[in-house]
């Protein structure tokens, strides 16, 4: 279900009904009521019936301002998303509810996703939501690793950008002290955590590639368990949704938890 499309249609329909009532239907109702009153006395019930708005107009007048505000906020300011997979662990966990800045990379029209105002560009290390290139109706979230023109290589669990190793250092064993995973500090702009399988597992390998103009190379922080640009290629600029900047709630099926509120690095 395309919620953005449904929201745009709801705003358009309620706005159209509201406009038609203001320009055509309401003046007609008042004219008929005034004519009836000039012909004789009307009871309170008759007067109310003549002036009463039809139910579609009543609903449109009530919902149009609310829907319009929701559309503006969701399309141009901030939009909530839920994390459905563990590909961004340990930064983001399954069940995290995040907020995405919709204007950080330029203002885009809802549904069409066409940029109408250039505000900024993704930076290396940003956590970005985008439409999956192979199925644009699905939103993905990964970390920006390669910018247009960058040369990217991933080999032996080491990421190389423009021929230089990305700095990383061992912090501790993985979640629940599992010997199968290692938690590392990695520097891509700012420092963030990245999760790797035990070094004995070679994981995916990738020879050096160049990021084309207008496209981005994305990787999940859970490096050995992420369906990302290493497998399906680059993210076109027109697929960008926004920059994830905060976790505001966690819900894994029980009671919602607000103890995990945090800024996303």
Catalytic residue positions, numbered? 87, 142
Q: Is 231 exposed, middle or buried (0-12, 13-18, 19+ CB in 10 A)?
A: exposed
What does the DSSP 8-state code read for residue 126?
-
Locate all alpha helices (DSSP H) within the chain, ordered by sequence: 3-20, 26-39, 44-51, 55-76, 229-232
- 245's tokens: 């900047």
- Give how far Cα 8 sits from Cα of 3, 16, 146, 195, 222, Å: 9, 12, 34, 39, 36
Taking the alpha carbons at both ends of the chain, their separation in whole angstroms is 30
Whole-angstrom distance, CA of residue 253 vs CA of residue 182: 28
């Amino acid at each position: 279900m395309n919620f953005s499309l449904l929201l745009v249609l709801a705003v358009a329909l309620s706005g159209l009904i509201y406009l038609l009532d203001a320009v055509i239907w309401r003046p007609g109702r008042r004219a008929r009521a005034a004519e009836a009153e000039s012909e004789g006395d009307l009871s309170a019930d008759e007067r109310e019936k003549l002036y009463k708005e039809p139910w579609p107009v009543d609903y449109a007048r009530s919902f149009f301002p609310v829907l319009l505000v929701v559309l503006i906020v969701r399309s141009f300011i901030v939009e909530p998303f839920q994390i459905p997979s563990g590909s961004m662990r340990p930064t983001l966990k399954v069940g995290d509810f995040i907020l995405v800045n919709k204007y950080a990379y330029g203002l885009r029209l809802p549904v069409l996703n066409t940029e109408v105002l250039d505000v900024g560009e993704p930076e290396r290390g940003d956590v970005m939501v985008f439409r999956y290139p192979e199925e644009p109706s699905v939103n993905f979230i990964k970390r920006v690793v390669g910018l247009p023109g960058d040369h990217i290589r991933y080999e032996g669990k080491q990421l190389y950008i423009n021929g230089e190793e990305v700095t990383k250092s061992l912090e501790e064993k993985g979640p629940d002290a599992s010997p199968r995973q290692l938690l590392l500090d990695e520097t891509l702009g700012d420092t963030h955590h990245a999760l790797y399988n035990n070094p004995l597992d070679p994981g995916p390998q990738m020879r050096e590639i160049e990021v084309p103009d207008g496209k981005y190379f994305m990787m999940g922080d859970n490096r050995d368990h992420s369906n990302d640009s290493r497998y399906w290629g680059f993210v076109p600029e027109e697929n960008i949704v926004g920059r994830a900047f905060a976790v505001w709630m966690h819900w894994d099926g029980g009671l919602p938890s607000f103890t995990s509120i945090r800024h996303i690095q």
